[in-house]
Chains A and B, each alone.
Chain A
C-alpha cells in the first residue's frame, strides 16, 4: 500500500492547475504547517486540505485508502505526545502531520508524475549554467515517487516470506531480505534505465 496516492484522473480546477504551481503551493503549505504552532491555525489547514479533496472530487474510496494509513499514524503520534508532553503539543504535532501528509497526498492524486517531472525540469533549468542537469533532477523526483510503490511491494513480499517461516517477530528476518531485495531492485532499475537510453544524451 502506497502512503501517497497515485494520480486520480479528473477535470477539476486542481487537476487543471499547472504542476509547477501546485508544487509551489505544496511547499508553501508545508512551510506554514511547520511555522504554525497553535492548534487553531493548524486545524484550519486540515480543513483547507479537506476542502481541496472536495474541490478535486476525489472518490471516497481513494480518500479512505489515504485515511486508513495517515490517521492511525497521526493518532499514535498524538497519544505519545499527549502522554510525554501535553494535550496542546499533541494536538499541534498530530494536526501538523495530518495536514502535511494529506496535502502531499492530494498533490499526487491530482498531478501526473510526468507533468511534475516536466515542471521540475523547467524550474531548475536556470541552474544548468552551474552544472546542474535538469533532466536528472526531474528523473530523481519521478523515481522517488515510483520508489514508494516499489519499496511498499518489496516490504509486503518480505513480510509474507517472514510469516511463511513463522518469523514475524524477528527484525533481522525482515531487515536483511528487505535490504538485499531493495539493493537488487536498485541494480535492476539502473539496468532498465540504461536500456532505455537514460544518460546516453549526457555522454
Chain B
C-alpha cells in the first residue's frame, strides 16, 4: 500500500465527496469536470488552513456544504470562460493539475494556489468557504 500524504488524502477525499454530492459516479462526470475539480481541489488543499491531518474533518466540511454543485459549476465556468470548448478546457485543467503537482516539491506549500493563473478564483472560493466554516461561531 502506497503511503499517502494527508494533503493528498484530503484532495482525494474531496473528489469522492463531490461525486457523492452530485449523485454521480466518477464515470458519469464529464472528463473536464473530473480534471478541473482535481486541480481546484489541489489548489484548495494548499490554500486552506484546515488541519489536513484530520481527514475526517475535511470530509465533514465538504459534506456539510450546500454549495458543492455551485462550486463545480463555478470551476467549470472559470475553465470555459472565453468560450473555449470542453476539450480545450480539459487540456488547461490537466496542465494546471500537473503544474500544481510539480509545485509539490516546495517545502513552504503543498502547492501554490497562485502558481496557476487559471485556478486562483476557484481555489480561493473553496478555501474561503472552508475558512469561514472554521472560524464562524456556531
Bound pair (A, B): no
A interface residues (Cβ-Cβ under 8 A, vs B): none
Identify the B interface with A (CB < 8 A): none
